[in-house]
């Protein structure tokens, strides 16, 4: 037997906060060593934080020189590594540390592999993440040489301190006396020809995947299937490490550090957690890897004529022989959160990181009593519950942060989530003459259940003052449509109410703490959902404009599932009633024969919007291809002419309103069809909303069908199963992980 103990981790890094990052790295090494591990794997770019790979943040950091070869930051980065190597951190343990390295004129995203105070090898990433949220090619070069390892001359301050002048650099593996170990960096695993296949044929038994991978609803199984697939038919130990938390942007890195042996998961870390450091370990028998490989004839045949990969020899042993002090880790049932839990815990953990790192003292939410703002309120409630639970579990960092944010004195700390919420969470209902008693009561009831400090404000006086000013200036007073006004008047009157609420929300967030003699400021939370964004069914610069939004990329359908779940599982019963109520903006007067409803206003259902959203973003459909595909999908209930009308109607509003996506409040990225314009969906925002060429083409196709309907084979087209893991993510490279 060759018994090996390995450790991998989730680290909550923060881009550019070297002190925070180093402290987490050290804590993880200490824990790995205490557990007796021979290998410690950390996440991708753990020294700098991964978030600095994303567009705008990188630009700022680039200006400050994060990746500039002559800058002080480069020195800092190597300083961090030097600190680890000069101390006893790497004694008797192989440490894989993620950081950028400049070689000659190029910048590489690297795993620096160290042991016993020496850098053994530097492995640059060969396949950069460059789709969806990722922009690595802007800042790094992919390493393309597959031949011999090159010599990399260490910066003078490192070489002198370590008495080591150079280190092998490139694609390869480390050959120990008793096994071979290699790095595979994040995206490489998901590339068409992943390195682990070739490395396995070269005898590599342990793969270390350092990742910076973000949460997306229903995505985890794709990632886990990749680890299992990598080792199921070719054997091996697959270690996965990821960042966890908000490291300075819209993404939540969702941890899930993992260890897989021959296709079986033997250790799985948390996906959502408030912990800064979580280390998981396993004891594995490498003879089980050799045995599996020996039993697969095709593996043997291909290994005998493999392309040779370079290696570095290290005359050390990592394994122990059979002894009863070490037990073997056995296969575990994989833990998946339901999408409802993902919506609760992912955004709640992201909000906590944002809150503690922003220096704010809490959140303020305009709470309408409708589904969206109530979902946000429930997520903040969930955050408070997680904080109290984590403190009860003995997490000192969470306790320190919570005491500061909640302004606790005399050794007090949060022990009740409602009490904590009262300190850090303001909700405000801003009713107008068009608001109903029902939504007002629902908002109050929910705030009470969560424990928020709730305010009930009537905005009629403010709206009327603005209208009076308008009348003084123009001599005209707009009327609602139900009172005989035009569409323009009707919209104008709605938008005044909506925008006034935004102004009031910001005023209250900055001044309420002062009223209550509390220090600091509160962050304003936004609560528009992904479908409204796609359709543009929101008033630009109303309460959709806030500081941050935890649900901005979650669909209405998923939010409704979440509300039903949260009513029982978070203990906020009023959410059940809120979910059951028909969505309404309450911006127009309610009459006996008229009450405003979202889906009527929009001219399409939220369910239809989810279909359009997926087709537009994930499957890159324009009007004509969407029309053709929907003819198959909806062919049993709609004629091609009806499908054509629906598609044209969607594209008209999608394009008229796309400009609103440019000013969407930064929101948690959770959905692969997010139309968010700043980082994710980089399409134009000024379209010809008449789509003359495409709409004409659709008309020609409809005419050409001569009234035929689709011969329906009984099976929906590939877009049909939009609720479900595979279809939700398939076709989206950024989701594949
Ligand atoms: N191409 C372009 N590029 C840049 N900006 C452009 C633009 N076209 C218009 N604009 C600007 O956008 C403005 C129009 O947008 P905006 O002021 O938002 O107004 P608008 O989109 O016309 O109306 C708001 C819509 O949201 C609905 N609503 C309101 C309130 C709440 C809810 C809800 O339930 O969530 C829904 C309401 O029923 C209505 O359909 C124009 O006045 C102009 O300033
Ligand atoms: N009466 C109100 N009091 C406080 N905030 C409100 C009120 N009405 C609207 N808002 C804010 O404006 C946002 C958009 O309003 P609206 O109700 O029209 O849309 P919505 O997106 O369906 O949201 P919700 O489901 O929360 O009502 C809400 O999410 C909420 O933050
Ligand atoms: N950092 C990366 O290489 C990211 C790869 C991939 N897109 C993921 O989400 O996991």
Give the pLDDT confidence of 323-358 residue by residue, as tens digits. 988 899 999 999 999 999 999 999 999 999 999 999
In terms of residues, how long is the chain? 737
- Parallel, antiparallel, or unpaired for β 94-103 and 106-115? antiparallel
| Ligand 2 centroid, distance to 558 Cα (angstroms) | 18
Listed in sequence order, the residues at least 6 apart from 66 whose beta carbon sits closer than 8 Å to its beta carbon are: 16, 48, 52, 58, 73, 100
The predicted pLDDT at position 595 comes to 77
- Flag whether pLDDT at 489 surpasses 80: yes
Least confident of 156-170, 327-341, 601-615, 723-737: 723-737
- Tell me what the mean pLDDT of segment 626-652 comes to: 96
Residue 368 annotated among the catalytic residues of the structure: yes
The predicted pLDDT at position 679 comes to 81
CA atoms within 13 Å, Cβ hemisphere of 220? 23
Q: How confident is the model at residue 711 (pLDDT cuts 50, 70, 90)?
A: low
Listed residue (105, 103, 146, 142) closest to 125, CA to CA: 142
CA distance 267 to 258: 6
To the question of domain 3-61+70-333 being in CATH 1.10.287.370, the answer is no
In the chain the first and final C-alpha atoms are separated, in Å, by: 33
CATH tag for 603-736 (out of 3.40.50.1820, 3.90.180.10, 3.40.50.300, 3.40.50.620): 3.40.50.620
Q: Which residue has the higher pLDDT, 712 or 106?
A: 106
- Flag whether pLDDT at 68 surpasses 60: no
Q: How far is CA 171 from the centre of its chain?
A: 30
The predicted pLDDT at position 607 comes to 93
Say whether the ipTM exceeds 0.85.
yes
- Tell me what the mean pLDDT of segment 657-681 comes to: 90
Q: Which of 241, 270, 361, 368 is catalytic?
A: 368
Tokens in use for 140?
């790094």
Nearest-ligand number for the alpha carbon of 372:
2
- Parallel, antiparallel, or unpaired for β 150-153 and 166-169? antiparallel
| DSSP notation for 243-273 | EEE-SSSS--EE---EEEETTEEEEE--SS-
Q: How confident is the model at residue 583 (pLDDT cuts 50, 70, 90)?
A: confident
Q: Are 596 and 588 in contact (CB under 8 A)?
A: yes
Q: Are 32 and 40 in contact (CB under 8 A)?
A: yes
- Parallel, antiparallel, or unpaired for β 173-175 and 166-169? unpaired
| Ligand 3 centroid, distance to 378 Cα (angstroms) | 30
Task: Please tell me if the CB atom of residue 126 comes closer than 6 angstroms to any atom of ligand 3.
Answer: no
Handedness of CA 10, 14, 15, 16 (dihedral sign): negative
Backbone torsions φ then ψ of 246, nearest 5 degrees: -95, 115
Task: Please tell me if the CB atom of residue 186 comes closer than 6 angstroms to any atom of ligand 3.
Answer: yes
- Same fold for the pair 340-581 and 603-736: yes
H-type alpha helices, 370-436 = 371-392, 396-405, 417-424
- Flag whether pLDDT at 726 surpasses 90: no
Residue 44 annotated among the catalytic residues of the structure: yes
To the question of domain 340-581 being in CATH 3.40.50.620, the answer is yes
CA atoms within 13 Å, Cβ hemisphere of 147? 3
Q: How far is CA 133 from the centre of its chain?
A: 9
CA distance 609 to 515: 43
Task: Please tell me if the CB atom of residue 212 comes closer than 6 angstroms to any atom of ligand 3.
Answer: yes
- Tell me what the mean pLDDT of segment 644-655 comes to: 97
3-state secondary structure of 329: coil
| Ligand 1 centroid, distance to 297 Cα (angstroms) | 64
Listed residue (354, 527, 540) closest to 427, CA to CA: 527
Task: Please tell me if the CB atom of residue 129 comes closer than 6 angstroms to any atom of ligand 3.
Answer: yes
The predicted pLDDT at position 76 comes to 61
**Domain extents in the chain:** 3-61+70-333, 340-581, 603-736
Largest CA distance in the chain: 93
CA distance 501 to 492: 14
């Amino acid at each position: 037997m060759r018994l090996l103990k390995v450790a991998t981790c989730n680290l909550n890094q923060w881009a550019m906060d070297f002190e925070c990052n180093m402290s987490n790295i050290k804590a993880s090494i200490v824990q790995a060593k205490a557990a007796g591990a021979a290998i410690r794997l950390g996440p991708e770019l753990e020294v700098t934080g991964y978030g600095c790979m994303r567009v705008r943040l990188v630009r700022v950091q680039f200006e400050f020189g994060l990746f500039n070869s002559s800058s002080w930051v480069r020195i800092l980065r190597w300083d961090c590594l030097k600190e680890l190597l000069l101390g006893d951190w790497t004694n008797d343990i192989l440490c894989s540390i993620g950081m950028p390295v400049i070689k000659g004129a190029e910048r590489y995203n690297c795993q620096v592999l160290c042991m016993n105070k020496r850098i053994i090898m530097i492995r640059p990433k060969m396949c950069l993440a460059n789709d969806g949220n990722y922009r690595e090619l802007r800042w790094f070069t992919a390493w393309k040489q597959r031949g011999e390892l090159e010599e990399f001359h260490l910066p003078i301050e490192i070489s002198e301190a370590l008495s080591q002048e150079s280190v092998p650099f490139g694609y390869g593996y480390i050959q120990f006396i008793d096994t071979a170990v290699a790095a595979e960096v994040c995206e490489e695993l998901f590339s068409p020809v992943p390195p682990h296949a070739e490395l396995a044929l070269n005898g590599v038994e342990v793969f270390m995947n350092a990742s910076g991978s973000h949460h997306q609803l229903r995505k985890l199984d794709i990632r886990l299937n990749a680890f299992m697939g990598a080792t199921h038919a070719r054997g091996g130990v697959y270690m996965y490490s990821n960042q966890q938390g908000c490291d300075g942007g819209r993404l939540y890195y969702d941890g899930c550090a993992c260890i897989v042996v021959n296709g079986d998961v033997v250790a799985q870390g948390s996906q959502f957690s408030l912990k800064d450091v979580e280390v998981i370990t396993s004891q594995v028998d490498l003879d089980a890897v050799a045995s599996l490989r020996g039993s697969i004839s095709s593996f043997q045949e291909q290994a005998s004529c493999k392309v040779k990969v370079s290696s570095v020899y290290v005359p050390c042993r990592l394994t122990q022989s059979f002894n009863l002090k070490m037990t073997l880790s056995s296969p575990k049932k994989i833990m998946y959160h339901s999408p409802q839990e993902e919506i609760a815990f992912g955004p709640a953990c992201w909000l906590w990181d944002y809150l503690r790192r922003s220096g704010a003292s809490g959140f303020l939410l305009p709470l309408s009593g409708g589904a969206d703002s109530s979902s946000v309120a429930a997520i903040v409630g969930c955050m408070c519950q997680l904080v109290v639970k984590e403190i009860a579990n003995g997490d000192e960092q969470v306790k320190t942060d919570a005491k500061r944010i909640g302004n606790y004195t005399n050794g007090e700390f949060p022990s009740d989530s409602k009490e904590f919420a009262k300190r850090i969470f303001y909700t405000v209902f801003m009713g107008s003459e068009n608001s109903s008693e029902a939504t007002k009561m629902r908002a109050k009831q929910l705030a009470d259940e969560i424990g928020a400090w709730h305010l009930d404000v009537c905005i009629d006086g403010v709206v009327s003052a603005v209208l009076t000013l308008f009348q003084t200036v123009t001599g005209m007073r707009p009327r609602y449509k139900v009172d005989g006004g035009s569409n323009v008047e009707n919209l104008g009157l709605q938008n005044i109410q909506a925008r006034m609420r935004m102004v009031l929300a910001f005023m209250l967030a900055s001044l309420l703490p002062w009223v209550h003699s509390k220090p600091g400021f509160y962050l304003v939370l936004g609560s528009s959902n992904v479908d409204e964004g796609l359709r543009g069914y929101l008033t630009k610069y109303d309460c959709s404009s806030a500081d941050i939004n935890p649900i901005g990329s979650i669909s209405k359908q998923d939010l409704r599932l979440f509300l039903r779940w949260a009513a029982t599982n978070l203990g906020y019963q009023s959410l059940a009633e809120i979910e059951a109520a028909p969505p309404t903006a309450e911006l127009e007067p309610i009459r006996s024969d008229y009450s405003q409803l979202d889906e009527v206003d929009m001219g399409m259902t939220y369910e239809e919007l989810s279909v359009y959203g997926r087709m537009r973003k994930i499957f890159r459909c324009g009007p004509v291809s969407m029309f053709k595909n929907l003819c198959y999908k909806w062919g049993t209930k709609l004629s091609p002419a009806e499908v054509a009308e629906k598609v044209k109607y969607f594209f008209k509003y999608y394009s008229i309103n796309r400009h609103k996506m440019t000013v969407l409040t930064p929101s948690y990225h959770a959905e692969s069809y997010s139309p968010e314009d700043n980082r994710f969906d980089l399409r134009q925002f000024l379209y010809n909303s008449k789509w003359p060429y495409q709409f004409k083409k659709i008309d020609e196709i409809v005419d050409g069908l001569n009234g035929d309907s689709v011969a329906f084979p009984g099976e929906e087209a590939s877009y049909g199963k939009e609720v479900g893991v595979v279809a939700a993510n398939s076709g989206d490279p950024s989701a594949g992980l």
